[in-house]
Amino acid sequence: MEEVPHDCPGADSAQAGRGASCQGCPNQRLCASGAGATPDPAIEEIKEKMKTVKHKILVLSGKGGVGKSTFSAHLAHGLAEDENTQIALLDIDICGPSIPKIMGLEGEQVHQSGSGWSPVYLEDNLGVMSVGFLLSSPDDAVIWRGPKKNGMIKQFLRDVDWGDVDYLIVDTPPGTSDEHLSVVQYLAAAHIDGAVIITTPQEVSLQDVRKEINFCHKVKLPIIGVVENMSGFICPKCKKESQIFPPTTGGAELMCQDLEVPLLGRVPLDPLIGKNCDKGQSFFIDAPDSPATLAYRSIIQRIQEFCNVHQSKEENLISS
């Protein structure tokens, strides 16, 4: 099994090209020469650009289809209800961008301005950017390998004219690969507040999410907390609850206890959520009193609190 490369130490570490796992890697010589250690100049440029962005939140999950984009969109909708809060929603799912559809912005195009790409504005205080806005037809597939996807993410962070923003929400594709490494590296100097991790209750999903939590530890990304989505289904006819995705191993709650990360809340399955996403509307407007809306609102509040506490901590550090 020795030929399977296990843990790449990373091109910028002291072990680059020298670790046991580097044996046989085609990039071994390049890494060992130290050429990989020079930081990408874009990191500094992105840091400059991000000076006008107060909080940066990543929405992650190891598993696909658990509701990352739905959550990102509704986090944006929820925060944007306060007219004085500027929200930017960035979709870095390059191969499967869902945000344009969920936000009702399908078919919109990005405009070039003097200071870069201008995001598509849903409201005055809610700007959206996605690779979906750069495609000419909804059938267009973005069949790109890693380096090209990374280039796109770099452009999204460096060349989009976001302006003054309170919250930048970054929606990611499933997994722990190019897109995730890139966004964390590019934003490294600019400081990310943390990651919100989405899961569904089943073990098949949790096992991927544990990997994602380990990824966060590996890249030193703070975890704001975990959201359990699709948690229970209330039959619209008899109002009784059933578990469509049964939490056979204790669900997100037990996982959070084991891994010592906060559980931000549980969002029940509500057929209206999917319907509204398909129509590109905010679910909060259609179902203001639904248990799912209430769950969302409480989670959004906890995320805001997390960001504020951390901001004031930093300000204290600077002033002291």
Partner 1 sequence: MEAAADPGNLAGVRHIILVLSGKGGVGKSTVSTELALALRHAGKKVGILDVDLCGPSIPRMLGAQGRAVHQCDRGWAPVFLDQEQSLSLMSVGFLLEKPDEAVVWRGPKKNALIKQFVSDVAWGELDYLVVDTPPGTSDEHMATVEALRPHQPLGALVVTTPQAVSVGDVRRELTFCRKTGLRVMGVVENMSGFTCPHCAECTSVFSRGGGEELAQLAGVPFLGSVPLDPELMRSLEEGHDFIQEFPGSPAFAALTSIAQKILDATPACLP
In the region spanning residues 97 to 136, those forming contacts with partner 1, defined by CB under 8 A, are: 98, 101-102
Given the rule CB under 8 A, which of 111-119, 242-250, 290-298, 300-308 is the region that contacts partner 1?
Answer: 242-250
Q: Which of 18, 111, 275, 313 binds partner 1 (CB under 8 A)?
A: 275
The vertex-315 CA angle with 310 and 319, nearest 5°, equals 150
Q: How many residues bind partner 1 (CB under 8 A)?
A: 74
Q: Is 141 in the site for partner 1 (CB under 8 A)?
A: yes
For residue 266, the cross-strand partners are 228
Structure tokens at 67: 């509701």
Q: Is 66 in the site for partner 1 (CB under 8 A)?
A: yes
Q: Which of 85, 118, 155, 207 binds partner 1 (CB under 8 A)?
A: 207
Least spacing, CB of residue 182 vs partner 1, in Å: 9
Q: Which residue's CB is nearer to partner 1, number 20 or number 309? A: 20
Q: Which residue's CB is nearer to partner 1, number 278 or number 315? A: 278
Given the rule CB under 8 A, which of 79-87, 155-163, 220-228, 238-246 is the region that contacts partner 1?
Answer: 238-246
Interaction mask 8-47, partner 1, x per CB under 8 A: x----------------xxx--------------------
Other C-beta atoms lying within 10 Å of the C-beta of residue 116:
15
Question: Could you tell me which of 12, 89, 21, 20 has the C-alpha nearest to residue 58?
Answer: 89
Three-state SS string over 116-183 comes to EEECEEEECCEEEEEHHHHCCCCCCCCCCCHHHHHHHHHHHHHCECCCCEEEEEEECCCCCCHHHHHH
Q: Which residue's CB is nearer to partner 1, number 18 or number 313? A: 18
24 known member of a binding site: no
274 known member of a binding site: no
Q: Is 288 in the site for partner 1 (CB under 8 A)?
A: no
Least spacing, CB of residue 119 vs partner 1, in Å: 20
